[in-house]
Amino acid sequence: MIKENYLCLAGAVANQSRPFKPVVAWLAFYNDIWSFTQDKSKLKYVEDAGGENIDTSINRITYNTSNPDDLEALHAILCTVDVVIDETATLDPATYTVSSFLDNVGVEDHSCFAFLTNQTLWRYDKRAYNSTLDWYDGAVSQPQLVLADLIQAFSSPGNASTTFLRNIAKGEGVLSIDGSMCGSQDFSTPMDPTILPCP
């Protein structure tokens, strides 16, 4: 059921004629270093949602912000990107905002960054229990919801209604989740997946 729903959504995107495919970068910041993801599942999500991953000719995936040459190269790459998904780890997801991203990326003039101008800067920490992200449970078990999030993020970021992604460029906050949101379901019974409408 989940696989069929995912394939239907991906097929619907593939059959649409779009003027362009947004260039997308998944990246994370740790110890002064930005790293672009090489996670094949994330790259596949981008393609299935109608996006294009950053240019494969980029010869490195890590950039040290304390090195001026690296920082300049990182900024040059980011100027070619339409959508950013920032997966930087943080102890308190609710405190990570667009200002956090800008501080980490070390830039004052961000006029060339289309993903900031178009407000397409996302994180996958929309749902969290304390500092534990639902991404590592809910997103893994329901990839069709991740795909739907990315389709929304790429095609209508201003009106996106997402499950796991939050738009920090628009100031979207974190949804705190807990067991009470599961209702009266018996914990020994698996939850039914969320099947999305597909044209």
* DSSP per residue, 66-117: TSHHHHHHHHHHHTT-SEEEE----S-GGG--HHHHHHHHT-S--TT-HHHH
The answer to whether residue 194 sits within a structural domain is no
Give the residue-averaged pLDDT of 173-183: 73
The answer to whether residue 186 sits within a structural domain is no
Structural domain range at position 83:
2-170
The answer to whether residue 175 sits within a structural domain is no
> What are the pLDDT digits (tens) for 141-155?
999 999 999 999 998
The answer to whether residue 109 sits within a structural domain is yes
| CATH number of the structural domain spanning residue 14 | 3.40.50.1980
The answer to whether residue 152 sits within a structural domain is yes
* pLDDT over 90 (residue 55): no
Angle between the N-to-C axes of helices 143-155 and 40-48, in degrees from 0 to 180, rounded to the nearest 10: 50
Name the helix (H) or strand (E) containing 63.
strand 62-64
Q: Are 24 and 154 in contact (CB under 8 A)?
A: yes
pTM of the model: 0.92
The answer to whether residue 115 sits within a structural domain is yes
> What are the pLDDT digits (tens) for 71-103?
999 999 999 999 999 999 999 999 999 999 999
The total domain count for the chain is: 1
The answer to whether residue 188 sits within a structural domain is no
Q: How far is CA 91 from the centre of its chain?
A: 18
Q: Are 131 and 92 in contact (CB under 8 A)?
A: yes
